[in-house]
Each structure stands twice: as C-alpha cells, then as structure tokens.
C-alpha cells in the first residue's frame, strides 16, 4: 500500500511537468498577446512591440520556461496576473474556494438525490419509476449545462424571485473571510443570516452543475444495487430472516456505494468544465470564469499558474479516490 502510494506520488511529477510543458507551448502558440487585449482599439503596433519586450516575450523560449518553473517552484506565487496585477496564487486563494464550494454543493445535490433515486429505481426494477428514472437521467445528461442554468435562473430568480441571480453572497453583508469558503466563514463568524444568504446563492448554480452527476450517480447506484441484490451474501442474509431494511442498509447499500464513490472522483474534471459555463451564467467569481477570461485576455501568468493548479488538484483527487477505494474495499490490493 505504502509502496503503491509512493509510486503514485512519484508519477505525479512527470504528469505535472507534462501539463506545464503543454500549457507553456500552447500559450506561445496563441495569436495575439496581453497588450492587444488590455488596450483594445488603442493598441498600436509600436505599443504592442514595446509590451512584448517589457514582458520578456522576446527572450528565448527555454529561458521563458525556466522563468515559469521558477515562479511555480521557487517563488511559489505562480507569477503576477497581467490583468489584475496581483499574484496568481493570491487570486487562486480567493477563487478556488468558490469553485470548490460550488462543486461540493453540486455533488451533495447529485449524491443526495441520486442515491435514493437509483436505489428506489433498482428496488422497483422494471416498474414505472425505474423507467422514469432512466429516461430522466438520460434527459439530464442531454441538456447543455448552460441552457439548463439559464432556464433555472430565469424561472427561479427572475420570474419567481425566490433565489438570487448572481454572485456568491449578498453585497450588503459585511463579513470577514478567514478561509474564503463562505459557508465555513459564516459558521466561524457565527453569522447565521450570512450563512443562509450564501446557501441561497449556491442552490441554483449547484443544481445546474449537479445535473449531469445526478444522472450518472442515479444510474450507477441503480446498476450497482441490481448487481449486489443477486449476490449470495444478500440472499443468505434474507434467508436467515433479517429484516429487509437491515439487509438493504447493511449489505446492499454499503456494497453498492463502492462504485458510486469512484464515480464521484471521476466527476472532478467534468465539474470543472461545467463550472466554466455555470459561473458565466451566474456571475459566480470562481476559477472557471476566471480562466476563461484569462484565455481571451491572454493573461499568460494566470493561464500558466491557474491551469497547472487545476491539473494538480485533479490528479491529487484521483489519487485520493483510488486510495479510498482500496480502504473501503479491502479486497483490492495495490502493488
């Protein structure tokens, strides 16, 4: 187990180096540069040339790559954003918690609703509810996420005015942000009205972002429960007269949740992709919309640092999922 962990950690290095190279050369292949995007109509060729020189883009490529590695591993602040003039790391400290909060809320929605739905569908295998849940989950993955987000927002925020339409927190609320996870911040500060406000801001984006994971979790749960139900130990448990509820809880659900737990890890990349669109619709100040903007404004340091950071998170989450899988299921041995 430990050897496996060490080997996996060791493998992270080439992957992340590969990502950094990929990002680096991709950025150099982009047409245009930050000067044009900052100055708009006012960018004359002379200004652009001066800008490239100032920002070191005329230096040899390997030198630029070394600089990039230096900001990442020596300075550890990932460089300075061209657009905001703040360090990329300080921006990540603000925006990453926003995206994590949104993704976690989306996963809670997906798992909280998907497991019971999948479970019930499996218990009534072949029934109307089963078919409905299958079709529903297929429709769920067939709707473009931004389309769903816009429709949800139009109905629940604009028309019915039940929920706020933009942002993470009402701007009238003054609260300290020790962690930048606003839910945690509100709890730490014991500011319950702020907590309520933050949760309200999370609901619609989380539902939009969670729709695809919901569909997937429902289906996986259903399939897993169907599989497990026919296993010998479940039959044995039933045969020896255990209450159906106990059987369901102790044997069926517990074992069926194994595949579900891996799926949650695999959704990380999907959530981050979806976050780009969801954050755009709800003006939610997270990583997704920030990186999208950075691509359009050619904010090189943000792209280099931000995407590398996301890639790091992604591979680490996958590692944790693999490990936890091994812990949950002692039958699996890594070597």
Partner 1 sequence: MRGLVSRLVLPLAAVVALVAAGSAGGAQTKTVTFIIAGAADPTYLDPALVSDGESFRVTEQIFEGLVSLKPGSTVVQPGLATKWSSKNGKDWTFTLRHGVKFHDGTAFNAQAVCYNFNRQYNFTGPFQDASATYYWQTVFLGFKHNESADLSPSLYKSCTTRGNYTAIIHLSSRSASFLAAMVISSFSIQSPTALKKYGANQGELRNGTFYPTGTYAFSHPTGTGPFVFKSWTVGEKVELVKNTKYWGKKPQIDRVIIRPIANNTARVQALQTGEINGADLIQPQDVPTIKNNSKLKLLDRPSFNVAYVTINQKNAPFNKLAVRQAIAYGLDRQGVVNSFYAGRAQVAQEFMPPQLFGWTNKVPKYPYNPDKAKSLLRSAGLSLPVPIEFWYPTGVSRPYMPRPDLNFQAFSASLEKSGFKVTAKSAPWRPDYVKNVNQGTAGDINLIGWTGDFGDPDNFVGTFFQSASPQWGFKNQAIFNILTKAEGEVNSKKRVKLYQQANVMIMKFLPGVPYAHSKPALGMQRTVHGYVPSPVGTDPFAGVSIGGQ
Partner 2 sequence: MSVVELEAREIQLEAPSGLWSEAWRRLIRNPGAIVGAFFVLCFVAAAIFAPVLAPYGPKDQNLLLIVKGCCPGPSSKHWLGVDLLGRDVYSRILYGARYSLLIGVVSVSIGLSVGLVLGSVAGYLGGFVDSLIMRCMDVMLAIPGLLFAIGIVAMLGPGLRQVMVAVGVVNIPIFARLLRGSVLAQRENDFVLAARSVGVRRPTILFSHILPNAMSPVIVQGTLAMATAIIDVAGLGFLGLGPQDPATPEWGTMLTDVNDYLQTAPFLAIVPGLAIVISVLGFNLIGDGLREALDPKLRGRA
C-beta of 252 vs 272, nearer to partner 1:
252
Q: DSSP label at 130? A: H
* Alpha-carbon separation of residue 63 from 24, 56, 58, 66, 237 (angstroms): 12, 9, 10, 5, 67
Residue recorded with tokens 């309520």: 196
Contact 149, 277 (CB under 8 A): yes
| 18: contact with partner 2 by CB under 8 A | yes
| 272: contact with partner 2 by CB under 8 A | yes
- C-alpha–C-alpha distance, residues 168 and 96, integer Å: 13
Q: DSSP label at 124? A: T
Binding residues among 287-306 for partner 2 as defined by CB under 8 A? 288, 291-292, 295-296
Structure tokens, 299: 């904010």
Beta bridge partners of 80: 87
Exactly one of 132, 138, 283, 332 binds partner 2 (CB under 8 A); which one?
A: 138
Contact 23, 307 (CB under 8 A): yes
Exactly one of 156, 314, 325, 334 binds partner 2 (CB under 8 A); which one?
A: 314
| 324: contact with partner 2 by CB under 8 A | no
| 233: contact with partner 2 by CB under 8 A | no
Structure tokens, 74: 């020596």
Exactly one of 280, 285, 319, 322 binds partner 2 (CB under 8 A); which one?
A: 280
Q: DSSP label at 274? A: H
| 214: contact with partner 2 by CB under 8 A | no
* Interface positions with partner 2 (CB under 8 A): 11, 14-16, 18-19, 22-23, 26, 29-31, 134-135, 138-139, 141-147, 150-151, 154, 158, 269-270, 272-274, 276-277, 280-281, 288, 291-292, 295-296, 307, 310-311, 314-315
């Amino acid at each position: 187990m430990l050897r496996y962990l060490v080997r996996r950690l060791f493998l992270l290095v080439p992957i992340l180096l590969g990502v950094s190279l990929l990002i680096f050369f991709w950025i150099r292949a982009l047409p245009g540069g930050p000067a044009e995007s900052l100055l708009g109509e006012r960018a004359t060729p002379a200004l652009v040339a001066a800008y490239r020189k100032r920002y070191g883009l005329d230096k040899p490529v390997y030198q630029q790559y070394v600089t990039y590695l230096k900001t990442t591993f020596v300075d550890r602040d990932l460089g300075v954003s061209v657009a905001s003039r703040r360090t990329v790391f300080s921006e990540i400290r603000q925006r990453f918690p926003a995206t994590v909060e949104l993704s976690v809320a989306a996963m809670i929605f997906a798992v909280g609703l998907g497991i019971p739905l999948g479970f019930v569908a499996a218990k009534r295998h072949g029934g109307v509810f089963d078919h409905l849940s299958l079709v529903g989950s297929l429709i769920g993955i067939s709707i473009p996420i931004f389309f769903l987000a816009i429709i949800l927002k139009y109905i629940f925020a604009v028309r019915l005015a039940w929920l706020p339409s933009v942002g993470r927190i009402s701007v009238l609320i003054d609260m300290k942000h020790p962690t930048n996870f606003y839910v945690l911040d509100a709890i730490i500060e014991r500011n319950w009205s702020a907590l309520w406000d933050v949760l309200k801001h999370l609901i619609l984006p989380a539902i939009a972002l969670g729709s695809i994971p919901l569909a997937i979790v429902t289906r996986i749960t259903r399939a897993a429960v169907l599989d497990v139900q026919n296993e010998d130990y479940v039959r044995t448990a039933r045969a020896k007269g255990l209450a159906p509820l106990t059987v369901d809880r102790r044997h069926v659900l517990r074992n069926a949740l194994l595949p579900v737990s891996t799926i949650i890890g695999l959704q990380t990349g999907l959530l981050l992709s979806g976050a780009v669109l969801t954050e755009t619709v709800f003006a939610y100040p997270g990583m997704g919309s920030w990186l999208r903007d950075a691509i359009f404004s050619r904010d090189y340091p943000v792209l280099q640092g931000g995407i590398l950071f996301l890639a790091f998170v992604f591979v680490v989450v996958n590692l944790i999922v693999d490990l936890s899988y091994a812990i949950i299921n002692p039958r699996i041995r890594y070597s």
